[in-house]
Structure 1
Amino acid sequence: MFGRRFLRRFTALAIALPLAVACTKQDYLSGKRSNHSDDRPIVLTTFTILADMARQVAGDRLQVKSITKPGAEIHGYEPSPKDLEQASGADLIVENGLGLELWARRFVQSAGDVPTVTLTEGMEPLLIEGDAYAGKPNPHAWMSPLRAKGYVDRLVDAFSQLDPEGAELYRNNGNRYKLQLEQLDTELRNLLAVIPKQQRVLVSCEGAFSYLAQDYGFDEAYLWPVNAESQITPKRMARLIERVKNDQVPAVFCETTVSDKAQREVARASGARFGGSFYVDSLSKRNGPAPTLLDLQRHNVKLLRQGLAASAEKSS
């Protein structure tokens, strides 16, 4: 495993990063590579949420790392030379797919023959509606606890192929994690049941809640469909303000990885209040409110309940 990993690193980076390769080779020959004291296979994910899911399945048997760090905006992320080096040293790369991490192609190609698993492969995606992106898949399928179970199955299969001796462990861990996701689904349904039907409009900056909205009976409205806040236009702003006014939506929200300035203006112009920021494309740091996917979902749903069901909460 060690020799194969070093050969891949040298071959890939000789093209993309000749200077980095020279340093890596020199360090290796001089015995300075301390990270190779851990011979567990390396699994590299494109963002922190996938890393958390991968760790739930892998346990301590694999090294799981994330290219992006907590708080990073993943849509327009630009891989660094260090990212490319990490990719070439991995034994498996894990990506979401559905057009989410188009930037990942660069380091996947540079990684040479490193296997890659796409966790949404074979999944029937929800399609974006009524926008320039109409007809394209919404990539945020992990935001549905029930859809996330499909991610787990793909991880179990990929890890078992990478490390057949650990297949039983991965299968048991995967089943345990899927049970937690099912229990989370029930928990979220109970939390959201208090929100009146007429107030079930989820307004966010990005259209990242389509899967969650479908699962729990919400309409969705947003400033931009996918990718980045650079897509905000006066037309989209005006349309969202009108929607919030007409539906008397009590609160609007944004996401932690982008600026909430435009959404606060939507709140001001429509008479709604700004209800806070969701975690979607990134986990928080360990001491934050969303260090795991399960915590992320609980944080978001509690924030949503506080924003949309304030009157119902007071009367209950």
Structure 2
Amino acid sequence: MKSIRFTIKLLSFSIIFFFSHVTHSADMDKRLNVVTTVAPITNIVRNIGAGYIDVTGIVPDGTDSHTFEPVPSDARILEAADIIIVNGLDLELPTVKLAEKVKRAKTPIVRLGDRTLRNEDWRYDFSFPREHGHPNPHLWPNIALAMRYAEITRDSLATLDPRNKEGYIANTAAYLARLQKLDDAIFDCVKSIPEKNRKLVTYHDSFAYFAPRYGMKVVAAIQPSSFSEPRPQEMIRVIKQVHKEKVPAIFGSEVFPSKAAEQIARETGARFIDQLSDDELPAPPHDSFIGMMVNNMAVMTEALGGNPDCVANVDTRNHTLIP
């Protein structure tokens, strides 16, 4: 009888050990479920968490992030998230409002922009006037600020998932090195542009944080704060500015075609180029935030009289994305 009881106890311990080992292995293999918003942020997060997280970006490519309204299926995605990473600075207000309503109590919402800049460093402009209370949220074209986004993402993921902390640190180090090369290349691009041409007229105020870092001047943005086409008096104001500043090119986006921007170009004799992007990634294999900025700089530099080869050696692939 003793031997039978011993055998039963041994079998019980073996079963308990087996299931605890299986549970532990499952926990170790479980990836964080991360939900993001706009494509550049989604891509930055994917590079930092490569191999350790699953990422869902709920704002589709080519969608105006300012006017995006989440749908019921997005509520289910947000509800299941382990962490929600957004730009903040009031860019995704409907999405954040929904997230706060449906997310689990312990799921953090990380607002990258709010943690990157102090309030006194927020910028207000034509598309984002101070009287409306919403600052310009487009921090990421300034690569120094994008690097801060990467660091905040690293720290947020490591806090939630400490067992993979070293992986997040390694991924971030590699990604920051590539961002630094991009940053250096952008400085080279601007240096190649004649000083009198280092001026930007864009359809949307997407380069408010980019311009002062790299030595450029935002002369005007065509899209007003309502995110509609400008009124005639606003177009007259922009036309006068473009004439006064002798701006050689006006930049739009093929995602958001603007008849007003084309008309202003015709009125002033400036070239109209609809190939800039602040939130849509290019096609594979360059479908990355870095790839988007490389495209922007090649287009911008050539149109303003500089040498677009300045970004020829920037690696645009998502190197840290591993199986």
2:151 is equivalent to residue 150 of structure 1: no
Alpha-carbon distance in structure 2 between the residues aligned to 1:72 and 1:81: 17
Give the fraction of aligned pairs with identical amino acids, expressed as a percent.
Answer: 29
- CA RMSD, Structure 1 to Structure 2 (Å): 2.2
Which amino acid in 1 is paired with 2:111? Answer: T
1:196 and 1:309 in contact (8 A); partners too: yes
Question: Which residue pairs with 1:296 in the alignment?
Answer: 292
Offset of residue 130 of structure 1 = 6.3
Residue equivalent to 2:181: 183
CA change 1:226–1:208 in 2 (3 A) is farther
Which residue number in structure 1 is paired with residue 247 of structure 2?
249
- For 1:227 and 1:64, how far apart are their aligned partners in 2? 31
1:237 is paired with a residue whose SS is helix
1:27-75 Cα shifts (integer Å, max 9, x gaps): xxxxxxxxxxx84221010111111000110011100110012212111
Counterpart-to-counterpart distance in 1, 2:62 and 2:128: 27
In structure 2, the partner of 1:120 is 113
Q: SS where residue 120 of structure 1 aligns?
A: helix
Alpha-carbon distance, 1:255 to partner: 2.4
Change (3 A) 1:45 1:55: same
- Paired residues for 1:55-204 under 5 Å: 55-108=46-99, 109-113=101-105, 114-122=107-115, 123-124=117-118, 125-129=121-125, 133-134=129-130, 136-204=134-202
Aligned to 1:224: 223
Secondary structure (helix, strand or coil) at the match of 2:123 reads: coil
Measure, in 2, the Cα distance between the counterparts of 1:241 and 1:117.
Answer: 40
CA shift, 1:307, in A, is 1.0
Q: For 2:303, which of 298, 304, 307 is the aligned residue?
A: 307
Contact 2:34/2:56 (8 A) holds in 1: yes
User: 1:169-220: CA deviations, max 9, x gaps?
Assistant: 1111112211211111111111221211111111101111011101111111
Give 1:285 shift: 4.1
Kindly tell me the number of residue pairs found equivalent between the two proteins. 273
Partners of 2:174 and 2:72 lie apart in 1 by 37
2:223·2:230 contact (CA, 8 Å) conserved in 1?
Answer: yes
- For structure 1, the 5+ residue unaligned runs are 1-37
Between the aligned partners of 2:307 and 2:87, the Cα distance in structure 1 is 38
Which of 16, 32, 35 is equivalent to 1:41? 32
Indicate conservation of the 8 Å contact 1:143/1:212, yes or no: yes
Secondary structure of the residue that 1:274 maps to in structure 2?
Answer: strand
Q: Highest Rg: 1 or 2?
A: 2
Aligned counterpart, 1:9: none
Q: Judge conservation of contact 1:257–1:281 (CA < 8 Å) in 2.
A: no
Pair 1:54 & 2:50 matched: no
- Using the TM superposition, give the Cα deviation of residue 235 of structure 1 relative to its aligned residue in structure 2, in angstroms: 2.2
Cα contact 2:242–2:268 (8 A) shared by 1: yes
- Would the alpha carbon gap of residues 140 and 227 (structure 1) be closer, same or farther in structure 2, given more than 3 Å must change? farther
Shift of 1:293: 0.8
C-alpha contact 1:208 1:226 (8 A) present in aligned 2: no
